Amino acid sequence: MGGVAWTEEEDHLLKKCIQQYGEGKWHRVPILAGLNRCRKSCRLRWLNYLRPNIKRGNFAEEEVEMIIKLHKLLGNRWSLIAGRLPGRTANDVKNYWNCHLSKRLNALEAEDRPITRDVQVIRPQPRNIGSSSVKRRGGQNESATDKGVQQESSMSSLTFDASDGQNHMLESQQDNDIYACLDQQGIVSELSMDFQLQGFEAMMNGEGSSSQWDWGDYLLDMDFYE
C-alpha cells in the first residue's frame, strides 16, 4: 500500500482503545493503544476502515449522482460530500472520484455534453472576515483549478453561539435558504425516500461519514448568494 499496512493485531488494539476511551484525543491514542503509529495514522485507520457502519463495495447509482452534484456544488470538499453519503468515507469518495468519475466526466466534457441536467453552480463567497479565514491552502486550489474543478473562492467562517460554550450552529434564516437552495437544485428531492431516510437515520444515530449528517453544517463552508 501507500505505507505500512495495518495488521489484525493493530486493528484490534486500536478498536479496543477507541471503545474504551472514545474518539478524539488522537495524540494519546498511540500511547493508550500501545501502537507504533502516529496519531494521524490511527485516526485515518479508524475513520476509513474500523469505524462501525462503514459501507463497502460499489457505489449505488444514486450515490454516484449525489457525488457528481455535490462535487459541482462544493468542489473537492470530500469530507462534506461524504457527509451526505451515509456509510461512505471521504477517502472512499475521493478515490472513487479520481478513479471513475473524473475520467468519465472528462470524457463527457470532451464530447461537449452536459454532465448533469440544469444544475446551477452555487459559488461559496468570501465573507468580510479576518485574514486568517481567507488564507488559502498552499497550492491545493491551483491544482484543483487546473483540473477544471469548480472550487470555492475561499473558506468562510462559521457562526457559533458561544454563549454557553458549546459549538453549535445558530439557527438562522440561512438554514432555510440553503435547504431551499439544495432542494431547488434537486439535490434532495431527486433522491429516493429510502436514501433520504437512510441519511436521516444515520444522522440521528450519530453515524454517517466523517461528519455528522446535518443540514446545518452547510453553513460551515458555504455562503450562498444570488
Partner DNA sequence: AACTTATCCAACCGCCGCTAC
Partner DNA sequence: AGTAGCGGCGGTTGGATAAGT
Applying the rule CB under 7 A, the residues between 193 and 212 that interact with DNA are 210-211
Applying the rule CB under 7 A, the residues between 102 and 161 that interact with DNA are 132-140, 143-144, 155, 157-158, 160
Q: Interface with DNA by CB under 7 A: which range of 34-42, 60-68, 119-127, 193-201?
A: 34-42
Q: Which of 3, 22, 114, 206 binds DNA (CB under 7 A)?
A: 3
Task: Identify residue 146 by its one-letter amino acid code.
Answer: D
Q: Which of 33, 66, 73, 90 binds DNA (CB under 7 A)?
A: 90
- Torsion (CA) 126, 128, 129, 132 in degrees, nearest 10: 50
Classify residue 149 as exposed, middle or buried by CB count within 10 Å of its CB (0-12, 13-18, 19+): middle
| Contact call for residue 1 and DNA (CB under 7 A) | yes
**Are 121 and 72 a contacting pair, CB within 8 Å?**
yes
Q: Which of 12, 16, 25, 168 binds DNA (CB under 7 A)?
A: 25
Dist CA 164 CA 214 (whole Å)? 21
Q: Interface with DNA by CB under 7 A: which range of 22-30, 168-176, 189-197, 198-206?
A: 22-30
Residues near DNA (CB under 7 A), total: 54
What's the closest the beta carbon of residue 176 comes to DNA, in angstroms?
23
Dist CA 173 CA 152 (whole Å)? 22
Distances (CA, A) of 79 to 1, 49, 117, 218: 22, 15, 24, 12
| Contact call for residue 71 and DNA (CB under 7 A) | no
Dist CA 29 CA 23 (whole Å)? 9
| Contact call for residue 174 and DNA (CB under 7 A) | no
Task: Provide the 3-class DSSP secondary structure of residue 160.
Answer: strand
What's the closest the beta carbon of residue 70 comes to DNA, in angstroms?
11
Q: Give percent helix, percent strand, percent coil of the chain, each to the nearest 5.
A: 50, 0, 45
What's the closest the beta carbon of residue 14 comes to DNA, in angstroms?
10
Q: Interface with DNA by CB under 7 A: which range of 61-69, 96-104, 112-120, 173-181?
A: 96-104
Binding residues (CB under 7 A) for DNA: these are 1-6, 23-28, 37-41, 43-45, 48-49, 76-80, 90-92, 94-96, 98-100, 132-140, 143-144, 155, 157-158, 160, 167, 210-211
